[in-house]
C-alpha cells in the first residue's frame, strides 16, 4: 500500500493556536461527500504523515464511502511550529489546539482516529466537548497503559539520531522497529522513515522538537488508569485496534474495554506492535467499513472551506 505515498493529494492547513503558535494539518478533500469528516490524531512524536495512506484511501473518489479527512501535526511536530516553552507539550494544551482546529473548521460530530497519544486526546475531547465526536477509533491505546511500553516510548524521545540520507533513515527506522513489526516488508521502511522525519531540501531533518523530552517524566508506578475518560466513549460507536505484539495495550485491557462498551468493535493487526501502521489492506478496509457503519448521511454537503480559508 505504498503507491502514491508522496503524491500531493492533500491541502496544507495553517492555523494559529490561542497562544499564537502557528500549527499545521493536512486536509484530504472528498468533494461533495455527505459523510462525516475524519480527524486523525497521531502518536507522541509523530505527525500527519503517519495517516497519508489511510487518509488517501478514505478520501479516494474510488471509495464509495469517500469522506473528508483532516490529519493534525501537534505543536512541535511535523510542520507545526516548535514551542519555545517545552512545558506546553502536554495533553491539555494539545487538546485545546485540536478544539481550536475543530472550531476554526466548523467541524462537529467527526470520526476521530487516534493513535496512541491521539487516542488519549480523543477520550479527553469526548469528556470536554461531547458533541465534537460522533465515532472513535483507538489505535493501540486504552484506559490502561502498560508500563513497559510507556518506559520504552519515553526513553526514545529526543534520542533517535538524525540520519544523513533517506537510505540510512530507512535502515535506522527498520533497526529500531523491525523486531516489533515482523510483518512489515523490508522495502517499506524508507517510506516509513519519511513519516518519522521531515524533508528539508531532499534530506531528512528532525520530525519533532527534541525538547519534547523535557515535558515527559518517567513515573515510579503504573500510569493512572483512564476508565472515566473511556466511559465518555460509550455513548458513541467505537473501535479499538491492537497490534498483536503491542507492549502498550494488553489483551486484558481490550477484554475489559469490551465489557464496559458492549458494542465495541475490535481488531488485532497480526505481526505488528505499537502502534499498528494503518497501511495494510485489511486494516484500511476494516476502518473504512467501521466508520461507514457509523455514518448519518446528511441531506446537505458539509462545507469544509473554512479549513483552507
Q: 296 pLDDT band (50/70/90 cuts)? A: confident
- Mean per-residue pLDDT, 237-255: 98
| Residue 306 pLDDT class (50, 70, 90 cuts) | low
- Phi-psi bin for 140: left (phi > 0), alpha (psi -120 to 50), beta? left
How much is the average pLDDT of 260-275?
A: 97
Task: Over range 172-187, report the average pLDDT.
Answer: 96
Average pLDDT in the 154-163 region?
A: 94
Average pLDDT of the residues in 46-62: 97
Region 205-222 average pLDDT:
84
Strand partners, 199: 204
Calpha distance 75→212 (Å, rounded): 10
pLDDT of res. 218:
56
Distance CA 10, CA 47 (A): 15
Start-end of CATH 3.40.50.1820 domains in the chain? 11-158+209-293
Q: Which CATH architecture has domain 11-158+209-293?
A: 3-Layer(aba) Sandwich (3.40)
Rounded to 5 degrees, what are φ and ψ at 252? -65, -40
For the entire predicted model, the pTM comes to 0.94
Amino acid at each position: 500500500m505504498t503507491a502514491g505515498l508522496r503524491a500531493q493529494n492533500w491541502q496544507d492547513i495553517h492555523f494559529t493556536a490561542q497562544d499564537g503558535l502557528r500549527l499545521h494539518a493536512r486536509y484530504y478533500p472528498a468533494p461533495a461527500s455527505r459523510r462525516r469528516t475524519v480527524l486523525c490524531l497521531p502518536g507522541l512524536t509523530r505527525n500527519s504523515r503517519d495517516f497519508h495512506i489511510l487518509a488517501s484511501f478514505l478520501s479516494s473518489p474510488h471509495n464509495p464511502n469517500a469522506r473528508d479527512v483532516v490529519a493534525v501535526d501537534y505543536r512541535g511536530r511535523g510542520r507545526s511550529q516548535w514551542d519555545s516553552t517545552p512545558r506546553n507539550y502536554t495533553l491539555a494544551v494539545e487538546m485545546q489546539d485540536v478544539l481550536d482546529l475543530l472550531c476554526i473548521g466548523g467541524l462537529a460530530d467527526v470520526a476521530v482516529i487516534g493513535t496512541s497519544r491521539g487516542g488519549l486526546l480523543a477520550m479527553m475531547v469526548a469528556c470536554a466537548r461531547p458533541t465534537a465526536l460522533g465515532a472513535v477509533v483507538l489505535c493501540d491505546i486504552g484506559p490502561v497503559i502498560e508500563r513497559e511500553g510507556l518506559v520504552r516510548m519515553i526513553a526514545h524521545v529526543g534520542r533517535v539520531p538524525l540520519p544523513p540520507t533517506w537510505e540510512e533513515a530507512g535502515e535506522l527506522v527498520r533497526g529500531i522497529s523491525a523486531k516489533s513489526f515482523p510483518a512489515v516488508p523490508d522495502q517499506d521502511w524508507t517510506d516509513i522513515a519519511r513519516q518519522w522525519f521531515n524533508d528539508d531540501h531532499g534530506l531528512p531533518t528532525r520530525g519533532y522538537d527534541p525538547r519534547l523530552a523535557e515535558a515527559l517524566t518517567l513515573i515510579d508506578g503504573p500510569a493512572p488508569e483512564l476508565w472515566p475518560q473511556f466511559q465518555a466513549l460509550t455513548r458513541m460507536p467505537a473501535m479499538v485496534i491492537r497490534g498483536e505484539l503491542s507492549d502498550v495495550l494488553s489483551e486484558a485491557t481490550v477484554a475489559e474495554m469490551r465489557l464496559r462498551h458492549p458494542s465495541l468493535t475490535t481488531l488485532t493487526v497480526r505481526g505488528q506492535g505499537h502502534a499498528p501502521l494503518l497501511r495494510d489492506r485489511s486494516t484500511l478496509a476494516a476502518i473504512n467499513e467501521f466508520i461507514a457503519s457509523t455514518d448519518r448521511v446528511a441531506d446537505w454537503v458539509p462545507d469544509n472551506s473554512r479549513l483552507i480559508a
